Amino acid sequence: MNNKIKILLEMIKFEHTVFALPFALMGAFLAAGGVPEARIFLWVVLAMIGARTAAMGFNRIVDRRFDAVNPRTAGRAIPAGSVKLWEAWLLVVAASLLFFFAAAMLNPLTLLLSPLALGLTFVYSLSKRFTWFCHLLLGIALAFSPLGGWVAVHGTLWDFPFVLSLGVIFWVAGFDTVYACQDADFDREAGLFSLPARFGRRRAFHLAMFFHLLAFVCFATVGIARQLAWPYLLGLIFTAVAMLYQHLVVRPGDLARIRLSFFTMNGLISLTLFVATWLALVV
């Protein structure tokens, strides 16, 4: 059982929950003007774990046939046979129920928005079959994270800084575009859609840089609009450096260090902006 749980967690890359969770907490902390109630904090964390687990499990299920013939992904749990299809579906259902239950424990609006938020993550998993805007669609799905955190505290969308969600959209679209460069040739041959497959790796990198520039402008606007103190400025500086670093270490013709770019830097960006917001509110 322990081994099966380990395989399932590896299948959904559980540790990558760090991408979206800090932005949900950022929304909650902004709404509360500091640390929210412990009860709200707990349910927000559980809701994010449930939502991301369900989304990744669904992604692995619907992409299993493509994963099986893609040399980069053939070793994933479902095509490799280490996780049965019914086990993956059970994980998705259980995680979805956790998400909806956590949303219900917060307030009525959180529960009302939860099907839309989870549904968008499921649609993203299918979107590469019909649009190369899939990267932006993933960004829209993750943009519900700060919005959900805000609603969890306030129970309303009133005064929510929508520019924060806009920043998340472009930040996600930027790093997902870079990550998709690994499969540009395969996607093109398989009839799948992505920016690298449609425009080539070089142009896709230029678009990713543009997305990250827009994301930075949005994040900076949040600090100005909310009059966040100097720790947020330090967080913005780190964010700018981390975004630039990604585009220096990974190039269209050299994707060897893409894991450093995709996982390490982006995890640090989300954590840094959350901690910077927290400290700015304290100051």
Please write the tens of the pLDDT for every residue from 70-90: 999 999 999 999 999 999 999
Contacts of the segment 226-231: beta carbons below 8 A, 24+ positions apart? 226/30, 226/161, 228/276, 228/277, 228/280, 228/281, 229/279, 229/280, 229/281, 229/283, 230/280, 230/283, 231/276, 231/279, 231/280, 231/283
Check residue 32 and give its pLDDT. 96
**Domains of the chain: total:** 1
Indicate which CATH number applies to the domain containing 26. Answer: 1.10.357.140
* C-alpha neighbours within 13 Å on the C-beta side of residue 107: 12
Q: For 122-132, what is each residue's pLDDT tens digit?
A: 999 999 999 98
The token pair at 68 is 């099986």
Tokens 């142009």 -> residue:
203
Print the domain residue range for 242: 2-282
How many residues does this entry show for the chain?
283
**Interval 240-249: pLDDT, tens:** 999 999 888 8
